[in-house]
Structure 1
Amino acid sequence: MERLARLAQRDAGLPAVQRALGEELVTVLGVDQAHVIVLDAGHPAHGIVVMRDGGSNEYVLRPDDLPDALRWVADAGQAATVADASVDGALPQQLVKTYGLRSAAVLPLAAGDTVRAVVLLGSREPRVWDPAELHTASALSDLAGTAIALRDARLAAAIDPLTGCLNHGAMRERLSEEIARARRQNTPLAVTILDLDDFKRVNDTYGHPTGDVLLRHVAEALRAEYRSFDQVARYGGDEFVVILPNVRGPRADIAAARALRVLREIHITRPDGGQEGITVSCGVAEWVEPEGPAELLERADKALRGSKAAGKDGLVRAPTPTS
């Protein structure tokens, strides 16, 4: 419990809280495995499992509209036990097959008044779950919930007030987390930097209130266009960054091109009632080891400058750095 309390005090990142809670549950309860699965739009999505033998893994649950114990606990905010995990609809078959689950206990993990994750205590053998075990697991989950609530509060304070996107500092922290995840899982990662062409002219011609409205429209369009786990941030002024986990090669270019297409549909309403379109320049870079956030953003920014130099209203891909 002291370890989870320290995480809360230092406002740790979400993956660190998931892993620490899983390790504490396995150590304290002696269960075969402990999964901590965070929710995405109310559905269990991103999990970390810690095994009693010391192994651990991260995974993404495949989307499934079928109800199961994880979904029920997430919706109801109450614990549930699964006596036979092989029964259809009891648990996601992805977890049953991968981790040999025979029985399980599932508990909600709340941060404030909101269920943010579900905790799955798993066994490879049929077993009955002692109420004392569930009480201990619930107490540990409450501590993890406190750590997540503090992190949420910090992120809320790190939101850009004009656009509702992550601000510069929060973006760099999130990018650090995604690089660490890509490094652990050996998965791809890309970033896109977008800059509104001739934005200064918009402010000079139509005034800063019109420029602010334009920035809000751009932010809303980007958030609507990308996946729920992509992150849109205001990099500064009229520049935006999109963090794209699990994206590489042509998919990164396609994702950037989608943004350009959507933003070209935004129009400024002139004082005379007419409308004026906008264009955007874009730089795309894929993360390569051993880059950190600063190096990756610098390559994307250099590609953006290349797009500007090439005539604006387009995208340039950053070349892979040579060792």
Structure 2
Amino acid sequence: MLRGLFRAPRRLMRARRFLDAWNAHDADAVVALLAGGRYRDPLSDGFLEGDALATHIRALFRAFPDLSLTPDERALMVGGRTVAARYRLQGVQSGPLPGGLGIAEVAPTDRAIALDATLVIDCAQSAWIVDNHFDLQELAQQLDFLALLMPRRQGDYEFGAFYRLHRGNPVPPEAIGITWLQVRGGKAALEEAATVTNGVLESFAGKPGFVTGIIGAQPADEAGHGYGFTLSAWENREALEANLLPNPEHRAVVERFMKQGFSYATHSRVYELVRAKPMMIACTACGKKNNAHKAKPVCSACGGALEAAPAYI
């Protein structure tokens, strides 16, 4: 016990240097102060050390160039093997954050964050183990991000994430192409597949007749298995076939998925319109449903102006 008391001031000084290194935006110093130890926070996806930790820290500094950690001197505890400190995490996301599911980066929002956080340092050994706790849900809200807590499976339902690409084409689609694939090999393999797939979707988006694209995925499970799909909607089947089959990016992906063994399982389908009804939107004044693409955009019931039609799909 006495040994722990004698060591407490030294541990406290080292903890202060740790916070000072963060505030100096010195990733190498942060890693060095761990002396070969490990660190995690809600954005690190588990414990990190060495070069991987330095990369993570630099990504945070890039996203928040003014990031600061202000300790609460009234909430500082030094125990026999632990240092715990409450602090205020602040900054403006004026730089990009690392992305996922094929999106390389999340663009700057220029939104400020201000979070109460807790740093817990296990300093029983010379190599520290650091847990940096802050509320991920609150961080998402302050950045206007989505942070949904969902099960992987519930009965016959399976959950995941998706994003949509639309470049403004208002024409109703009459043909849809869907590709589904399963990837084995864990998070890195699924992320690589998503990146490749996103490149194909981007190549579609500049082609004549493209309407909308959607990419969805379920992250890899404990066995390392994950799956995803790509949906592309086109004005008609002719546009789909004219831009899908000759597309070099698409041919390269087909080669990789089908012949190079990049995916465990895959299949593709093309669907063509059988019947269609007009898009209906509500009048914001009286609630009456109207054809969104009528020649004169006024409500048939009250004569109020109709808003612009939303995009298809």
Normalised TM-score (structure 2): 0.25
Higher strand share: 2
Flag the structure with larger Rg: 2
Higher helix share: 1
Normalised TM-score (structure 1): 0.25
